[in-house]
Structure 1
Amino acid sequence: MAGSTRPFSRFEWMIAWRYLRARKAEGGVSTMTWISLIGIMLAVAALIITLAVRTGFRNEFVDTILGANAHVTVYKQSEVNENGLLTNAMPDYETRAEDIRQVPGVTRVAPLVRNQVMANNGDNNAGVEVYGIRAEDILTIPRIANTETSRGDLARFDEGVSVGIQVARELGLLVGDRIKLISPNGVKSPFGGTSPRINTYEVVHIFQSGRYLIDKTRIYMPFAEAQSFFNSEGVADEIEVFVEDPEGIDALTLPLLAAGGEGTLLWTWRDSSSGFLNALAIEDTVMFVLMSVLVLIASLNIISGLVMLVKNKTRDIGILRTMGLSEGSVMRVFFICGSLVGVIGTAFGVILGCLFATYFDSILAFINGASGGQTWDASVRGIYRLPAELEWQDVLKAVGLSLFLSFGITIFPARRAARMNPVEALNND
């Protein structure tokens, strides 16, 4: 009769559920059950929140890179000019840009003049990097032309300059103010030397790219004006390229080198951020391992609960065995007890973790306000916000890990209960 019992029959679920609901006076371990359930719930929620924050941070970091910087920067190999100096200026930048524009997957190509200068406003000074770019090209840079985070009017770009918001704060600038730019490589004197070039420009636009370092050091200037200011008439320093699929930039390396012509050098967004991206990958692995250990520790509470349950139900096990219940049925009863705790705890953990991740911005804003705005410092962390982004793969990872550990750990005390001798169980009163 026992051999014909169907696995996980209705009566096995009924016995397991009754044991879980039993009060301590009846030989149950409801307190330990609740501790196990809450522990698993909090561990799963913590794992989901950690994975969501990790994903959100990486996506925000990469988006600020791709939204304000070239996906690929095209340079020319240095060569000696007529004055005997090394230069990588591109006199044929228009031709190179047009050839690169024909490469499949390229969405935007813009020649740049790029140099470092001293910026001044009154008694305030700052070292900045000037990007000389055409008006039609700056309008296509997502994070710079974003009207929601910027001030001023980029339609007037040819009449002045666009500065980063941190540059504006450091120098005390508002839209309409004038900024003085000082270049050490300025006007050439009749005696062969150079004197600093000093020009004043109207601030027509202030942008916030999402990256603190960009906003603190970058100024955009009209391309023709930058050529004149930096003595670069008729040449460009580099060509910035945007592509459809930045994550697949490696596949475009050879076509871009071929289109760029002889002496072309490339610097991709992965090259510029490889150190930080590698650090993020290592941190992701470490955090997942640490959170997995937390889930394991929470799951171990199931063993304690089941061991106590088996001890309290020793006489019941003996009676069930003498009534014909097989070892397999006894094992499944206690396996169901432990598994139910794991499943219910995991389910509540998923709900709690998803809710926390969904409202993470509001929660972080509240904590930041309560702590006086010191929770998230953009000057240290590089980006202005810490988002949390839920991905179904991360939720499945957390659920799979929790259930695997819960089910695996439950087997050991369940087998111990199943192998108990019925006679000894009945005598253990």
Structure 2
Amino acid sequence: MASTPLPFARFEWMIAWRYLRARRADGGVSAMTWISLIGISLAVFALVATLAVREGLRSDIIQTMLGANAHAEIHYRRDFSAEIPVDHLIRDYDALVDRISALPEVTLASPLIRGQVMGSYRGRNVPVDVFGIGTQDLHNYPMIAASDGAIGDLANFEKGVAIGAMMARQLGVTVGDRIKLISPNGVKTPMGTSPRVNAYEVTYIFSSGQGFVDQSRLYLPLAEAQSFFNREGAVDQVDLRLTKPEQASEMVLPLLRNSGDRAYITTWQDRAGGMIQALKMQDNAIFIVLSILVLIAALNIVSGLIMLVKNKGRDIGILRTMGLSQGSILRVFFLCGASVGTAGTLVGVVLGVIFAANIDSVYGLVDWITGSGVRDLEASGFFFPSAVVTFGDVASAAGLSLALSWLITVFPARRAARMNPVEALRYE
């Protein structure tokens, strides 16, 4: 008794390969095969490249947000229900910083004082968000300490203040000028609290790239901020920078265990929750639209395979009379369509990865072709993101393309398998 050949046997591959190579004059669909291959390749290329640019945009936005801000913040709750009311100030901040810094995921724990005052210079006034921080801690915020276009020297921070570039333009100040800070909660006297007015020299002007930071933020040495805001021996919060900012929410419980009963934690994800949700919705919309593009490209495989089945009707009849089963015929034509989809997917993935890896060269080429078009747009405030290729994005793009191209190939392959050999050879 003859043994039944295993599925996808060598002869099935040989027949499928012969059909794919056959020219139209010989009853094949070589031109249609190339069109299907190119269509799948371009669709997958577009999907991989777009996902890479999308991931690069997300990364750039997060890096910009976190370059001048803490990844997480430790605050203390007020407690007015106690016999002796307790305010929100952190007075044991040195011990708290030591405990938090011992965690391997924490790269920086910096005591901070926050306050809102009025900044004034020669009749010009702007609202100012004051950050009282230590000099060494400020050096750990790259968008501040290493900002492009910075003026002055951060080494002189202890002698004055550091302000944003937009605030400096609004006030009309530069390095060396002295600005006044006016706080309504100033000196306490028997007649009440009188405003406190101090003048500080501008020693450093930064440009973080974030409009709201450059427009309103001023950094003041911690000791001076404690005196100015009546916080002697205390701070308002402790700012943290983590080794993995994207996992900040997972660090909440370990931080709470080391921060005391009155502590509560806020992360950058809490502050930017709306933006993160908007980015996720945008990601889903982009993926759905490009998935439709891949589906349209995969339909070319179906049309080509239907033409192949029609042209190979006589061959199918002969193969069936020679003893090939319906399953073998189905697998032969499935291999024809699936091979085109697989090859197109691989080519598209390679092209997409190459494009993403050389995105700066692509921007440079566009700039050269358009005559400084990219630089002009950047000068006008347009943002050209980087591209970040992740395994998950490549796997999702490749998986989608393979699933669609393999799935839709089954239907014309089943049609070929169900063809009646007698009808196929009747007029031969």
**TM-score of the aligned structures, taking structure 2 as reference length:** 0.84
> What are the within-5 Å matches in structure 2 for residues 17-416 of structure 1?
17-78=17-78, 88-102=88-102, 105-119=105-119, 126-146=126-146, 150-168=150-168, 174=174, 176-178=175-177, 180-185=179-184, 188=187, 191-192=191-192, 194-195=194-195, 197=197, 199-208=199-208, 211-364=210-363, 369-370=372-373, 373-374=376-377, 386-416=385-415
Distance change >3 Å, CA 306–CA 338, structure 1 → 2: same
Q: Residues 50 and 192 (structure 1 numbering): CA distance in 2 closer, same or farther, change over 3 Å?
A: same
Give distance in 1, aligned partners of 2:86 and 2:365: 55
| Matched AA of 1:288 | F
> Which one-letter code corresponds to 2:33 in the other structure?
T
Look up the SS of the partner of 1:201 in the other structure. Answer: strand
Instruction: Answer yes or no: is the 8 Å Cα contact 1:328–1:418 preserved in 2.
Output: yes
- Indicate if the aligned counterparts of 1:2 and 1:324 stay in contact, CA closer than 8 A: no
Pair 1:304–1:206, CA change in 2 (3 A) = same
Paired residue secondary structure (1:260): coil
Q: Is the 8 A contact 1:2 1:325 kept in 2?
A: no
Query: 1:2 and 1:168 mapped to 2: Cα distance?
Result: 90
Once the two structures are superposed, residues 391-410 of structure 1 have per-residue CA deviations (whole angstroms, 9 ceiling, x without a partner) of: 22321222222112211211
Say which SS state the counterpart of residue 46 (structure 1) adopts: helix
Q: CA RMSD in A?
A: 3.4
Cα 1:378–1:161 change in 2 (3 A) is farther
State the alpha-carbon separation in 2 of the partners of residues 255 and 18 from structure 1. 63
Shift of residue 133 of structure 1? 0.7
Q: Deviations over 1:345-394 (max 9, x none)?
A: 11210121112211223434665752674479769xxxx65221112232
Distance in 1 of aligned mates of 2:70 and 2:360: 29
* 1:220, distance to aligned residue in structure 2 (A): 1.4
Cα distance, 1:105–1:311 mapped onto 2, change above 3 Å: closer
Distance 1:101 1:391, change over 3 A: closer
Greater shift, 413-422 or 178-187, is seen at 178-187
- Work out the CA distance in 1 between the residues paired with 2:57 and 2:251: 27
CA distance in 2, matches of 1:224, 1:79: 26
Q: Deviations over 1:79-126 (max 9, x none)?
A: 67xxxx996334444444444445564332222121223445668654
Distance in 2, Cα, partners of 1:10 & 1:259? 65
> Higher mean Cα deviation, 5-14 or 354-363?
5-14
**Partner amino acid for 2:19?**
Y
Alignment partners' CA distance in 2, 1:404 and 1:111: 53
CA distance in structure 2 between the aligned counterparts of 1:30 and 1:122, rounded to whole angstroms: 79
- For 1:340 and 1:327, how far apart are their aligned partners in 2? 20
1:330–1:376 distance in 2 versus 1, CA, 3 Å: farther
Structure 1 unaligned regions, length at least 5: none
Secondary structure in structure 1 of the residue aligned to 2:388: coil
Q: How far apart, CA to CA, are the structure 1 residues paired with 2:33 and 2:403?
A: 18
Q: Corresponding residue for 1:15? A: 15
CA change 1:107–1:355 in 2 (3 A) is closer
* Amino acid in the other structure paired with 1:403: L
Q: Distance in 2 between the 1:340 and 1:180 partners?
A: 71
Inter-partner Cα distance in structure 1 for 2:379 and 2:116: 30
* Aligned-partner SS, 1:388: coil
- Does the Cα contact within 8 Å between 2:161 and 2:200 map onto a contact in 1? no
Percentage identity across aligned positions? Answer: 46
CA contact (8 A) 1:330 1:418 kept: yes
Whether the 8 Å contact between 1:145 and 1:207 is mirrored in structure 2 is no
Amino acid at match of 2:420: N
Q: Relative to 1, partners in 2 of residues 1:17 and 1:388: Cα closer, same or farther, differing over 3 Å?
A: same
Would you say how many aligned residue pairs link Structure 1 and Structure 2? Answer: 420
Query: 1:115 is matched by which residue type in structure 2?
Result: G
Tell me the secondary structure at the aligned position of residue 192 of structure 2: coil
Q: Deviations for 1:316-347, whole angstroms, at most 9, x for unmatched residues?
A: 32233334443333222222211121122112
With over 3 angstroms needed to count, the CA separation of the structure-2 counterparts of 1:5 and 1:95, relative to structure 1, is closer
**Secondary structure of 1:336 counterpart:** helix
